[in-house]
A = this chain, B = another copy of it.
């Protein structure tokens, strides 16, 4: 399984993904699930992936091929598309196409599926955050719903529901996504460290901060323990 989350805030975009991939419990590996395409200052697009690795890897590889194609134009390369909405449409169409191809090779029963979070901004445009479904259609984060999740999303949702607003600062937002991931890691073994964290500050049009958090990360462990303590203390202080 996977857990990826993206927040669209007034100050910027915060993205977090785990890295665990498995094909059965005895075949666990670490794969990056966060992919960035950038022309710093001009355009940044980050894609988070959940689902069948065969679908997401091929989708990413094809998107890369289109970008590198010397004949690429604004209808084929996500780095030339005129708007982030167009970018989401192109990625959605590519995902649907790859999925259909993979499905053809598999029996209907075990059809491969994947979903994506796409975030970014181009110079002169707005920051956008999309969730692309396996069929290629998508939804977008709004003022009312500033976060989108893919994969094993339920364990980590209550904390986001309670603390994340559009006006949340980028520092608080990083804390929120890390604690959301922490709850997920504790409840589902198939979501695993290391983690990839990225922050895209508004109008930077580049990944402003990027951090890989390894399994033994001291800072993450301290934060996780402080949160456990805070929850237990809070819990014990509440009257029934």
Residues in A lying within 8 Å of B, measured CB to CB: 154-155, 157-159, 161-163, 171-172, 174-176, 178-179, 183, 186-187, 219, 222-223, 226-228, 230-240
A167 to chain B, nearest CB (A): 14
Q: Among B187, B236, B237, point to the contact of A158 (Cβ < 8 A).
A: B187
A163 to chain B, nearest CB (A): 5
Beyond the given A176-B235, A226-B239, could you list 19 further A-B residue pairs with CB under 8 A, ordered by the A residue number? A154-B154, A157-B187, A159-B231, A159-B235, A162-B228, A162-B231, A162-B235, A163-B235, A171-B240, A172-B236, A175-B238, A178-B240, A179-B235, A227-B235, A230-B237, A230-B238, A231-B234, A233-B234, A234-B234
Residues on B with beta carbons closer than 8 Å to the beta carbon of A228: 162
Chain A contact surface mostly: helix
A240 to chain B, nearest CB (A): 5
A159 to B232, CA, bound (A): 9
Residues on B with beta carbons closer than 8 Å to the beta carbon of A234: 227, 230-231, 233-234
A77 to chain B, nearest CB (A): 37
